[in-house]
A and B are shown apart, each in its own frame.
Chain A
Amino acid sequence: MNELKGYKDIPIGGIITEAGNSVTYKTGDWRSQKPIWKEEGCVHCLICWVFCPDDSIKVEDGKVIGIDYDHCKGCGICARECPRKERALQMVKES
């Protein structure tokens, strides 16, 4: 979470003046279920990346490198769409 500002220091009318600032708004604590990615079972088809509504599948050089747990809300779409399911992506209960 960002440091919260006082009412005298925020733009009036609740407007957002900074483009793309949703990256600083962490939504990871909304999760009740958590996707677990297993590198050894992943074929890097990127279907999870295509379907993730929150841009939380981290990809580098065309390959999945992990999950952005700061923003993943635990919707489970990635695990449902994953063609290899239990071998590559599985949902577990958030501890």
Chain B
Amino acid sequence: MASEQKRVAMTGNEAVANGMRQINPDVVAAYPITPQTDIVQFYSSFAADGLVHTEMVTVESEHSAMSATIGASAAGARAMTATSSQGLALMWEMLHIASGYRLPIVMPVVNRALSSPINIHCDHSDTMGALTTGWIHIYSESAQEAYDNLIQAIRIAEHPDVLLPVMVCQDGFITSHGIEIVFLLPDEVVKEFVGEYKPHTSVLDVENPIAVGPLQLQDYYTETKAQEAEAMARAKKVILEVAEEYEKISGRKYGLFEEYKMDDAERVIVVLNSTAGTTKAVVDELRAKGEKVGLLKPRVLRPFPADELVEALSSAKAVAVMDRAETFSTRGGQLFTEIRAAFYESHKRPLMRNYIFGLGGRDTTTREIHRVFKDLDADLERGQVDKLVTHLDVRE
């Protein structure tokens, strides 16, 4: 049965900071960066006010933030940090070390464009580049989802079948600084849901001494990576089980992705995070006029739910995959490339095209989404897409 929840007006950052307060990790090591700053700022107030028992480590860079989090986690602590953009980029080598050590670190990431040109606003160039770092990737449309995903992430990361770090992403400023209605679970319900952390190993366990991070060359590196890949594959089932359990305490349902009015949808937009909200408004408008349109919003990108996505999209006739980051492959964004590749074995392939949109925080409104649905309509008339990759709303 769903618990009695507090209805509050909060920004995405405040919701995430409150989720962290309820999780009450042993260690938080963090460095502030726009637009993530609020999370750490709120959290240090919680720590200073004695609302959490967390050892708060203020460090001199994000490389150190991730390093300290890794050290704490290897010592057996439940450890967290948070970042954005350049901060995530500076953590890069340590991201691979966190996953390689199989440490269940959970990190909120507030998506922001990578320099250059320097820009503080939202796009997904930071986390799209981190898809190969061995972290589980979960994306959030709203402050509510960022909060819900964060709490679930602890259980996913720490599950004995998984033991991988998780990044929980939300859109910079749009979600992180926009005030929304958020339902917060009671503190004790979250405490019970995440449970007491029992590390699988600890460098401080003198009864069972271990060495962490040794050299592995041609003899064992492959085996360690194969293990990691298998854990990632197992994570899919765990993510769904945790979601089911979370639904019982919250009443909110989560899957690998969300399907919005997809049942008989012929034209479909696939898009992550806050733009999915904008797309829902357009889908509603067009549905009111009898147009068969729908939205598919991926939630989990690592592990990549290829088979499930193919099944969900194969009844559509035309699909626009929207990527909020360039890959410079000249063949489309990350999400597009992976979804298109997933259809390779399928006999039922819809028309599929890519839009690169919203870079550096460029507003993507219902007007642009209407245009995308119109383009798909023209593609269906023509029987083929007129352009594989389109930069949406670019001035010539």
Interaction A to B: yes
Interface residues of B in 136-152 (CB under 8 A from A): none
Q: How far is the CB of A27 from chain B (nearest CB, A)?
A: 11
For this complex, 5 residue pairs linking A to B, each with C-beta atoms less than 8 Å apart, are A6-B223, A12-B102, A14-B213, A16-B211, A17-B208
- Which A residue's beta carbon lies closest to that of B200? A12
Q: Which residues of A contact B103 (CB under 8 A)?
A: 13
Interface string of A15-39 (1 = CB under 8 A from B): 1110100000000000000000000
Given contacts A7-B226, A10-B227, are A15 and B220 in contact (CB under 8 A)? no
Taking Cβ atoms with an 8 Å cutoff, the residues of A that contact B are: 1, 4-8, 10-17, 19
Q: Which residues of A contact B230 (CB under 8 A)?
A: 7
Given contacts A6-B223, A7-B226, are A12 and B214 in contact (CB under 8 A)? no
Q: How far is the CB of A16 from chain B (nearest CB, A)?
A: 4
Asked if A13 and B208 make an inter-chain contact with CB atoms under 8 angstroms apart, the answer reads no
Cα distance, A86 to B223, chains bound together (Å): 46
Give the contact-size bracket for chain B.
20 to 34
- Which A residue's beta carbon lies closest to that of B210? A15
Cα distance, A1 to B222, chains bound together (Å): 17
Asked if B100 and A13 make an inter-chain contact with CB atoms under 8 angstroms apart, the answer reads yes
Cα distance, A87 to B31, chains bound together (Å): 61
Interface residues of B in 192-249 (CB under 8 A from A): 200-201, 208-214, 216, 219-220, 222-224, 226-227, 230-231
Q: How far is the CB of B95 from chain A (nearest CB, A)?
A: 15
Q: Which residues of B contact A5 (CB under 8 A)?
A: 223
Cα distance, A19 to B207, chains bound together (Å): 12
Q: Which residues of B contact A15 (CB under 8 A)?
A: 101, 201, 210-212, 214
Q: Which residues of B contact A17 (CB under 8 A)?
A: 208-210
Closest 6 A-B residue pairs measured CB to CB? A13-B102, A7-B223, A16-B211, A7-B226, A13-B101, A14-B224
Cα distance, A18 to B29, chains bound together (Å): 31
Q: Which residues of B contact A19 (CB under 8 A)?
A: 209
Q: How far is the CB of A47 from chain B (nearest CB, A)?
A: 29
Cα distance, A54 to B218, chains bound together (Å): 21
Given contacts A13-B101, A13-B102, A14-B100, are A7 and B224 in contact (CB under 8 A)? yes
